[in-house]
Amino acid sequence: MAIQTIQTQPFPDQKPGTSGLRKKVAVFQQPHYLENFVQSIFDSLDGFAGKTLVVGGDGRYGNLQATMVILRMAAANGFGRVLVGRDGLLSTPAASCVIRKHDAFGGIILSASHNPGGPDGDFGIKYNTGNGGPAPEKITDAIFERSKTIREYRIVDAEEIALDREHEFTLDGMTVNVIDPVADYAELMAELFDFRAIAHLFQSGFRMRFDAMHAITGPYATEILQNRLGAPRGTVINGVPLADFGGGHPDPNLTYAKELVDEMFGDKALDFGAASDGDGDRNMILGRRFFVTPSDSLALLTANATLAPGYADGLAGVARSMPTSAAVDRVAEALGIDCFETPTGWKFFGNLMDAGRVTLCGEESFGTGSSHVREKDGLWAVLFWLNILARRQQPVETLIRTHWARYGRNYYSRHDYEGVDTAGAEQLMAGLREGLETLPGRQLGLLTVAYADDFSYTDPVDGSVSTGQGIRIGFSEGSRIVFRLSGTGTEGATLRIYLERFEADPARHDQDTQQALADLIAIADDVAGIRRLTGREFPTVIT
Ligand code: VG1
Ligand code: CO
């Protein structure tokens, strides 16, 4: 085998977004496109000669082929060993787990998460560092800079790379270990949670449904819930990963997880329902005819964390992304622990976890996780809930209502306008930014603006500053509207509007969420000109 040096031209559009580089499959299919980005990653890293790289992805269209290219390039660039999931598969949290457990130098994850897959869908790639977490902005910026000047990449010839079974082979002197994608992860879950109590719950007749949405979590959920915890067969639905996710949109929310939602809100609703996304890092939690917002889920897990063996000693602190509701803040206050507010995206939690300052983290976008890995973790959240349900022996709805009665309720919703005209969306954000200074003290509807700013974050660990992370408008009675543009979309722009109102009085905890937020929804349109500038009457997705 010989190392080949291939001449190439830079592509101008390889800027990583909120979570890696995500593009249409057709974009990735351009000659050298993937290779350029992979070489740009390697060129931005130092000191990996002879070290271990972890590679795997969510199984979407193009996953296996890209995995083989990365293996050949890792060998040509001097890595000593690659750990790769069988068939090129690894969920995002499992990849993080494997990087940490095997002391790898880093990892490459192939995923566009919840974005649809297949030849007309999306593909994605991201680099994770040795702590198992998404590369910080310093590295993603360096990768982008490199991608703009790259002229060549290195790759070895290889006849056949067999990834369909667990075995070891060498590729031009580099060792490749094809590993069971589930084993390390399942072992970690068994350390964190009370598997005996959960198994007992299933034995006593508790019934749940887990919708893997034809994505990567299927094999993980089947092994852990059905094989190890004894949940009946059929508990996991859509459990075989498909390259196009069965034509669906593997995003666990009330709109896209329709099969699960129909069952959980129907006459034959089970005790518990959950779903995960394309790459296995998101989760949706449902009780019988009851939806738990991700922000409330984070708050409830925080309040009940010590019921799980892995968290029995308590939490160092918690963190949430800025647009996530402040429900967890009040739990942290009651527990006397720190609560950090970070920009959107899991990469901002890494430093806090590495420094031992936070244990649990969460985002409103159906992401919850802890310092057990450095990614959000869908199935982990489901197991955490099961552990709490097994110990508290109350229905999901009762747990949440009791929680609200104690801490108050944060009515919360996100309105997404997907695939809108980029110029209009940018104009809308620019308009908001220009008007920020004039807003405080002003009356909008019946509310008075207390503050208005463009969120910026100074990392308390390394002092790095991230600006332009979303427009916040806060009102004197505690409500809030946040505007930001998505950094994960691949078509036009996606405008996200986050709405929140705190209600302390338990007598007022039964309102419909959209009604409880109706005045804020109207104000958001008014102040930003949403309908005028996007040409849309309604959001595409409401969560
Ligand atoms: C979205 C979510 C964000 C999440 C990111 C990656 O980003 O809002 O909270 O961290 O997706 O999640 P954006 O920039 O589109 O709002 V995943 O499961 O797509 O890796
Ligand atoms: Co995801």
Strand partners, 4: 155
Token digits of residue 64: 């296996």
Q: Which amino acid is at 57?
A: G
Last residue of a domain, one of 352, 383, 407: 407
- The confidence score (pLDDT) of residue 503 equals 92
204 labelled catalytic = no
Q: Is 122 in the pocket of ligand 1 (CB under 6 A)?
A: no
List, for residues 402-434, the tens digit of each pLDDT value.
Answer: 999 999 999 999 999 999 999 989 999 999 999
> Which CATH number goes with the domain that contains 41?
3.40.120.10
Side-chain half-sphere of 176: how many Cα atoms within 13 Å?
A: 28
User: What is the longest distance spanned by two Cα atoms in the chain?
Assistant: 73
Helix (H, G, I), strand (E, B) or coil at 212: coil
Per annotation, catalytic residue among 44, 91, 96, 113: 113
Ligand 1 atom, smallest distance to 20 CA: 20
Q: Are residue 7 and residue 103 in the same domain, yes or no?
A: yes
Q: Is 416 in the pocket of ligand 1 (CB under 6 A)?
A: no
Pairing mode, strands 360-363 and 317-321: parallel
Q: Are residue 383 and residue 421 in the same domain, yes or no?
A: no
Q: Are residue 96 and residue 154 in the same domain, yes or no?
A: yes
Side-chain half-sphere of 142: how many Cα atoms within 13 Å?
A: 13
List, for residues 356-371, the tens digit of each pLDDT value.
Answer: 999 999 999 999 999 9
Strand partners, 285: 274, 292
User: Whose CA is closest to atom 8 on ligand 1?
Assistant: 365
Q: Global pTM?
A: 0.93
How far apart are the C-alpha atoms of 484 and 431, rounded to whole Å? 13
Q: Are residue 141 and residue 274 in the same domain, yes or no?
A: no
Q: Are residue 287 and residue 422 in the same domain, yes or no?
A: no
CA 447 to centroid of chain Cα atoms: 33
- The confidence score (pLDDT) of residue 1 equals 61
* CA 280-286-291 angle, 5° bins: 115
Q: Are residue 210 and residue 347 in the same domain, yes or no?
A: yes
Ligand 1 atom, smallest distance to 18 CA: 14
- The confidence score (pLDDT) of residue 160 equals 83
| Domain region containing 13 | 3-180
Q: Are residue 226 and residue 366 in the same domain, yes or no?
A: yes
Q: Are residue 358 and residue 482 in the same domain, yes or no?
A: no
Cα of 154 to ligand 2 centre, how many Å? 30
User: Whose CA is closest to atom 1 on ligand 1?
Assistant: 488
| Burial bucket for residue 159 (CB in 10 Å: 0-12, 13-18, 19+) | exposed
User: Whose CA is closest to atom 11 on ligand 1?
Assistant: 488
List, for residues 253-299, the tens digit of each pLDDT value.
Answer: 998 999 999 999 999 999 999 999 999 999 999 999 999 999 999 99
Last residue of a domain, one of 407, 425, 455: 407
| Burial bucket for residue 12 (CB in 10 Å: 0-12, 13-18, 19+) | exposed
Q: Are residue 230 and residue 303 in the same domain, yes or no?
A: yes
Q: Are residue 196 and residue 167 in the same domain, yes or no?
A: no
Q: Are 49 and 173 in contact (CB under 8 A)?
A: no
Strand partners, 267: none
CA 140 to centroid of chain Cα atoms: 17
Last residue of a domain, one of 180, 208, 241: 180
- The confidence score (pLDDT) of residue 2 equals 85
Q: Are 392 and 304 in contact (CB under 8 A)?
A: yes
How far apart are the C-alpha atoms of 216 and 497, rounded to whole Å? 29
Helix (H, G, I), strand (E, B) or coil at 520: helix
List per-block mean pLDDT (blocks of 10 residues) for the chain, which spans 543 residues: 91 91 96 98 96 97 96 97 97 98 98 93 96 93 97 92 95 96 97 98 96 96 98 96 92 92 95 97 97 97 98 97 97 97 94 97 96 97 98 97 97 94 92 92 92 95 92 93 88 93 93 94 91 88 91
> Which CATH number goes with the domain that contains 471?
3.30.310.50
List, for residues 117-159, the tens digit of each pLDDT value.
Answer: 999 999 999 999 999 999 988 999 999 999 999 999 999 998 7
Which residue among 92, 109, 251, 365 has the greatest number of ligand 1 atoms within 8 angstroms of its CB, and so is best to mutate?
365
| Burial bucket for residue 465 (CB in 10 Å: 0-12, 13-18, 19+) | exposed
Ligand 1 atom, smallest distance to 279 CA: 18
Strand partners, 363: 367
Instruction: Work out whether the CA dihedral 337, 407, 375, 485 comes out positive or negative.
Output: negative
Q: To 10 degrees, the CA torsion angle through 167, 171, 174, 177?
A: -20
Q: Are residue 100 and residue 240 in the same domain, yes or no?
A: no
